[in-house]
Structure 1
Amino acid sequence: MIKAQKKEKGIARRLFRFLTPQWKVILLATIVSAVASGLEASIPVVVGMVIDILGGKENIMTEILNHLGFREMPSSAVNILPIYILTLIAIVGLLSYTRTYLLSMVGEKTVVVIRERLFRRLIRLSLSYHNRIKKGDFISRVLSDVSTVQDTANSLKDIIHSAVMVIVILIVMFSRYWFLTILTIVTFPILVSIINRLSERMRTAGRNLQVKLGEIGAYLSEILSGIRIVKSFTRETYEDSRFKKINISTFRARMKTVKVEALLRPLMELCSGLGMVLVFWFGCRSVMSGDMTTGMLMEFIGLVMLMYQPIRSLGRVNTMLQRTIAASERIFEVIDEPEEIIEPEIPERLGKIKGRVEFRNVSFAYDNGRKVLHNINIEIEPYESVALVGPSGAGKSTLVNLIPRFYDVSDGSVLVDGIDVRNVSLNELRRQIGIVPQEMILYGMTVKENILYGRLNATMDEVIESAKAANAHEFIMKMPQQYDTQIGEGGVLLSGGERQRLSIARAILSNPCILILDEATSSLDVESEALIKEALSRLIKNRTTFIIAHRLSTVVNVDRIVVMDKGRIVDIGTHNSLLRKGGLYARLCKAQLIS
């Protein structure tokens, strides 16, 4: 319990630090709120005085009215009361607008900063981390968890106003009727105890709910990504049942939070009612004994009722705060995730590289401890084209992923131009490496913007030249807005060959010294493959090139072929020399009818 409370306070302090840059705005809004609360608190006081004047008793209000020239009592007091109240309502309304605008701006700015901080962290975490966490869970943290924080941030205006209102009214009550005020707040410790007990339950229930919402996000992301498979196997009904289970589980998690929220309100009302009963009983006896006037009692009851509303509001906000702490815990889990690919403190200058790559005694294992590369030793000369071939799971993609430091070696080292890649700035290293992946990853932007992703400061002429070199210019010019045509999410409006040619154009524009082609011609028709082969032949010229291929016909003309099996290099040579050896490569060629 104590440990959980310390953790909660730690998270709350971190959230508060996001507010500190805007402390001047918060201070101004607090002052505005205090003035508005003071004006609101004066209404019951004035009403109580008018009631006493109606009863024939004089008070400070009669003195003020007489001083102002109003002699006829109580009619003057009755006539002025509505004017006074309406004027106060107008002033308080203006102050309320100012407070709401200022604190809403603070809340929204805070959420923007948190969301940007979370996204910045997400895209900088290693591939290893991204492989462990479901994409839908990422989306849930950026949207659902941040949205929960946003709800509380938007309630900042209510939190500050309610807190200031309670303080101001208590000051007024203590200054006028201290004993009755003590009777009013005698139930506060009970109320605080109830809120503390329910807070722990709400925080646990809130975290479970956020996890369940993350599971729904992960499920939807997975299903929508593979919707063709769902339809091809007619698994709509099956997926209905899967979603129903997750949805019901989320509903149950939500109802646990509702149960706590529903329990809080009647308990708060009970405590408030107890305080009100004590005040009313003692106040009536004081009026009967002559210690108080009827107006004084009505004034005090008005102040109590005015105070209980913000107290109830603070109670509701507390349940929201518990959900926010649970959501913030998930957000900070990502922000606090330790770096796996660590930048060197004093990076070595790489400069414009020639493209010599060496794997020296390289071994690698993923997080689960499964070793996928074993003592790899090979040197690739500048401008050399090297094909990595072998059965699925041989470690080909893993090996090339070590060059741009998507992962770090477990043992040994990877050197570029004789410098260990771990001693070089990631930006400087990756800027000189181009990748054309098998997945043909494009973004829901225009054709031009997708090509410019390779080099953001390139000119339009350079974009067009890159597209021409990739055999993409011709089909682009036939599109409705040519280079300004939107291609849909993931390039869905393009064919597979067109998407791949845009990927190649992007790589050409980046002008890399080292090029990695990961199954760049797989799953294409004959015509598209021919166009892409022609584009690739231009792309690999004067570049150190790594080609991963299962279709061996695409690599027969490379400088060297590296044959891998079970994480080891089992052979190296040219196409003809490897055929003559009659090893694994020759068997793979025979299986694909390649001579």
Structure 2
Amino acid sequence: MNTKKKSTSRIMLDYLFRFKFYIFLAVLASIPVSIISASPAYIVQKLLDKVLIAGNNNYLLIIVVGLPILFLLKGIFYFIQNYLMAYVGQKLIISIRYDVFSHLQKVSLSFFSKKTTGQLISRMTNDVNMVQAMVKGSMTILNDIISLICLFGYIFYLHWKLTLLVFVVLPFIGGIVRKFSKKIRRVGHDMQEKMADVTSVMHEAISGVQITRAFTMEEHEIERFHNKDRESMKAQLRGVRVQSTVLPVVEFMNTMGLAIVMFYGGQIVINGELTTGQLIGFLAGLGMTFSPIKRLTNINSVIQQSLAAADRIFSLMDEDIEEGEEDKNIEIDDLKGSVEFEDVFFSYDDKYDVIRGLDLKVRPGEIVAFVGPSGGGKSTIVSLIPRFYTPYKGEIRVDGKNINDINIKSLRKHMAIVPQDTILFTGTIKENISYGNPEATDEEIIEAAKMANAHNFISDFRKGYETQVGERGAMLSGGQKQRIAIARALLRNAKILILDEATSALDSESEALVQDALENLMEEKTTFVIAHRLSTIRKADKICVIDDGRIVQLGTHDQLMEKGGEYRQIYNAQFYFLDEASGE
């Protein structure tokens, strides 16, 4: 759903319009509920005038028999109304969550570098639940408005002059509610932001618990969480103060109106313009308006907080998706694998160039190793190839075609990525390997696992390929996770491979198995690798020394060692002892 240039209220109406049939039925059911809820005022008047004063037994019988039937009907219609609105509320939050989640899958990766995971989770859960409360509250508003119309209509029918006295007070109540509404919405927005901060700290602390324990920072994390929790508490209390102020003021104004009516109503009964039953019915009807008005005041607070939550939710849907996909008509069915960078410049913040005038030609099947100091731009370069980010100047071409002109899904289906930080998803080993090709057969999955040197350890598990890996692969060792990730990339059978070799320490056996799996993976593929292993660097057709966003040296290992300069310095600093130890 396109939410740009639409108010939050308009967006909510667009969503609710999807369920107009169910809402219409709920509204129909709410009419008898509201009318019956307002009926006791009329019944009290007839009980006094017709039964207690006039002694009419027929009226007594009608009231005694009719009252249970009325409220039985009210219960039936209330069930229908409540169930239908609960259904609408659940469907609404599913629709919103689906749309927001779908949108987040398409936004630029730069967006995620500006938001914490906890904040996004909070918007998808806490904020959406607040919106659901607004749907439930809207039906309460409808019921109360219909009840108020019935009650005011009844007391107006009894004595219109007396009713006008009541309407003198109502504008003051409306003004108070309107004044507090804006403040409640602002406070509600702050409450949701503070809760998102709490969620963010919780997510970081739980996902990083091993690091916390390793550095004995438990007390620090507890204090950090406690501080955010206290800030959230303060925001909640500010909200309570605002909400707790408006209700007593409204109640006081209601009571003032009732006192005025009682005084003048007594005079009218004495003068014979109203019967005692009519006055009591009038006061009963007026008294029954207090509860709906009080609920409307309370539910207004919920509505304002829900609108604040909706503002935060729909702001996510205003984020731009990866640009220009609808008009990219170039599809790639068969890719050879040549890649060319021509005068490429890139900046994350439009202030500092991370990549500066990059020129590089790679033939199909070549292995290109990037080495250089941390922060030099190696990871950024490989992130430009699948268009995770877009350079502001220059071109990147695949098989001679500008990647900006290629449909992004068509481009990426020819690429496989093995990141340094292995990402596995909650599910089975089989599901994680087939993530590279959901259409793969069991035989293909097993073959990929064998090539990744993963089949043997998978077979050792009691459930084999159906073994659950846990959150982010927590049930597997580092080497096992890496080999699953390699099997996933093998199954994709892409022509272009992007590999960030893991620097995590593995035992010698796991290291050898992973290295062998990587060599299987790189075979006959155009490979871009951020290299940390000496064997990978030696095997590379091109070694690019990256520093400050530029290629400062380019060649094979032997060529660059002969030239000297930056590569030889890096080699001597990082790889010399490995070379000596391996005897190479």
| Structure 1 length-normalised TM | 0.93
- 1:213 is matched with which residue: 187, 192, 195? 195
Tell me how far 1:383 sits from its aligned partner.
1.2
Contact map agreement 2:35 2:146 (CA 8 A) in 1: no
**Percent identity for Structure 1 against Structure 2:** 38
The 2-side partners of 1:170 and 1:8 are apart by 40
Change in Cα spacing, 1:285 to 1:334, as seen in structure 2 (3 Å) is same
Which residue pairs with 2:31 in the alignment? 34
RMSD over equivalenced CA pairs, Å: 1.9
- Range moving further from structure 2, 469-478 or 486-495: 469-478
Shift of 1:390: 1.2
Structure 2 distance, partners of 1:573, 1:166, is 84
Name the amino acid aligned to 1:509: L
- Alignment partner, residue 572 of structure 2: 590
Give a deviation string over 1:378-413, Cα, whole Å, max 9, x none. 111111111111111121110010010000012101
- The 5 A counterparts of 1:467-546 are 467-520=449-502, 522-546=504-528
User: C-alpha deviations, 1:394-449, integer Å up to 9, x for none?
Assistant: 21110010010000012101111111111111111111110000001001111111
Distance 2:211 2:517 in 1: 32
Aligned to 2:305: 323
Relative distance call for 1:562 and 1:344 in structure 2 (3 A) is: farther
2:9 corresponds to 1:12: yes
**What is the aligned counterpart of 1:115 among 86, 89, 97?**
97
Deviations 1:522-560 (A, max 9, x none): 432221121112112221122111111133333211222
CA distance in 1, matches of 2:456, 2:136: 51
Q: Distance in 1 between matches of 2:74 and 2:468?
A: 51
Task: List per-residue Cα deviations over 1:158-196 (Å, max 9, x = no partner).
Answer: 222222222233333334432232222321111111011
- 534-543 or 394-403, larger mean C-alpha shift: 534-543
2:37 is aligned with what amino acid?
A: E
| Pairing 1:422-437 to 2, within 5 Å after superposition | 422-437=404-419
Inter-partner Cα distance in structure 2 for 1:313 and 1:249: 29
Contact kept? 2:503, 2:532, Cα under 8 Å: no
**Contact 1:390/1:550, CA 8 A, preserved across alignment:** no
Kindly provide the amino acid, as one letter, of the partner of residue 285 in structure 2. L
Distance (whole Å) between structure 2 residues aligned to residue 40 and residue 569 of structure 1: 79
Asked whether the 8 Å contact 2:41–2:282 carries over to 1, the reply is yes
Report what 2:344 is aligned to.
362
Alpha-carbon distance, 1:9 to partner: 9.8
Which of 538-547 and 221-230 deviates more? 221-230
Give yes or no for contact 1:360–1:414 (8 Å, CA) kept in 2. yes
How far the C-alpha of 1:521 sits from its partner, in A, is 6.1
Provide structure 1 residue ranges, at least 5 long, that are not aligned to the other structure. Answer: 1-6, 58-72
**Which position in structure 2 is the counterpart of 1:275?**
257
Does residue 217 of structure 2 align to residue 235 of structure 1? yes
CA drift of 1:80 comes to: 3.4
The answer to whether the 8 A contact 2:108-2:320 is kept is: no
Secondary structure of residue in 1 paired with 2:331: coil
Cα contact 1:103–1:156 (8 A) shared by 2:
no
Gaps of at least 5 residues in structure 2 are none
Is 1:462–2:444 an aligned residue pair?
A: yes
1:25 aligned to which of 16, 22, 43: 22
For the 8 Å contact 2:367–2:541, the answer to whether it is kept is yes
Aligned to 2:152: 170
Q: Please name the residue that 1:68 is paired with.
A: none
Q: Aligned with 1:196: secondary structure? A: helix
Once the two structures are superposed, what CA deviation does each residue of 1:483-517 show, in whole Å capped at 9, x if it has no partner? 11111101001000000111011111111111001
Listed as ranges, the matches of 1:205-354 within 5 Å are: 205-339=187-321, 341-343=323-325, 345-354=327-336
Match of 2:546 in 1: 564
Structure 1 position 551 matched with structure 2 position 533 = yes
Aligned to 1:390: 372
Q: Is the Cα–Cα contact under 8 Å of residues 33 and 95 in structure 1 kept in the other structure?
A: yes
Report the residue type matching 1:40 in the other structure: S
Q: Is the 8 A contact 1:108 1:154 kept in 2?
A: no
Contact 2:137 2:299 in 1 (8 A): yes
Question: Structure 1 CA distance, aligned partners of 2:228 and 2:37?
Answer: 49
Q: For residue 551 of structure 1, what is the amino acid of its counterpart? A: R
Amino acid across the alignment from 1:377: D
d(CA) in 2 for partners of 1:353, 1:215: 45
> What letter matches 2:194 in structure 1?
K
Secondary structure at the aligned position of 1:109 is classed as helix
| Number of the residue aligned with 1:65 | none
Letter in 2 for 1:550: H
SS class of match (2:368): strand
Give the counterpart of 1:407 among 389, 394, 406: 389
210-219 vs 88-97, greater mean Cα deviation: 210-219
Q: Who is 1:376 aligned against? A: 358
Distance 1:341 1:487 in 2: 35
| Distance (whole Å) between structure 1 residues aligned to residue 350 and residue 394 of structure 2 | 19
Q: 1:260, CA displacement in angstroms? A: 0.6
Between the aligned partners of 1:336 and 1:241, the Cα distance in structure 2 is: 35
Residues 19-168 of structure 1: pairs in structure 2 closer than 5 A: 19-57=16-54, 73-168=55-150
Matched to 1:493, the amino acid is M
**Cα separation, 2, equivalents of 1:519 and 1:171:** 77
Letter in 2 for 1:260: V
Check conservation: 2:34, 2:144, Cα contact below 8 A. no
CA distance in 1, matches of 2:5, 2:86: 24
SS of 2:260's partner is helix
Offset of residue 43 of structure 1 = 3.1
Contact 2:369/2:536, CA 8 A, preserved across alignment: no
Paired letter, 1:401: S
Which residue identity is paired with 1:182?
Answer: L
Counterpart code for 1:496: G
- The total of aligned residue pairs comes to 574
Deviations 1:300-344 (A, max 9, x none): 222222322122111111001111121111112211123453325
Q: Would you say the 8 A contact 2:416–2:496 is kept in 1?
A: yes
Contact 1:436 1:520 survives alignment (8 Å): no
CA contact (8 A) 1:521 1:532 kept: no
Q: Match of 1:66?
A: none
Measure the CA separation in 2 of the matches of 1:346 and 1:431. 15
Amino acid of the structure 2 residue aligned with 1:45: Y
Amino acid at match of 2:562: R
Q: What TM-score do you get using the length of structure 2 for normalisation?
A: 0.94
Deviations 1:198-224 (A, max 9, x none): 112111111111111111122222222
Name the CA shift for 1:162/1:32 in 2 (closer, same or farther; >3 Å).
same
The 1:552–1:193 alpha-carbon spacing in structure 2 relative to 1, beyond 3 Å, is same
Do the aligned residues in 2 keep the contact of 1:522 with 1:551 (CA within 8 Å)? no
Inter-partner Cα distance in structure 2 for 1:443 and 1:27: 42
The superposition leaves residues 440-479 of structure 1 with CA deviations (integer Å, 9 ceiling, x where unpaired) of 1001111111112111222222211111111111111111
**Is this contact kept in 2: 1:437–1:518, CA < 8 A?**
yes
Change (3 A) 1:26 1:169: farther
In 2, the alpha carbon distance for the partners of 1:288 and 1:299 equals 16
1:70 aligns to what? Answer: none
Partner of 2:539, secondary structure, is coil
Per mean C-alpha deviation after superposition, the further-off stretch among 294-303 and 344-353 is 344-353
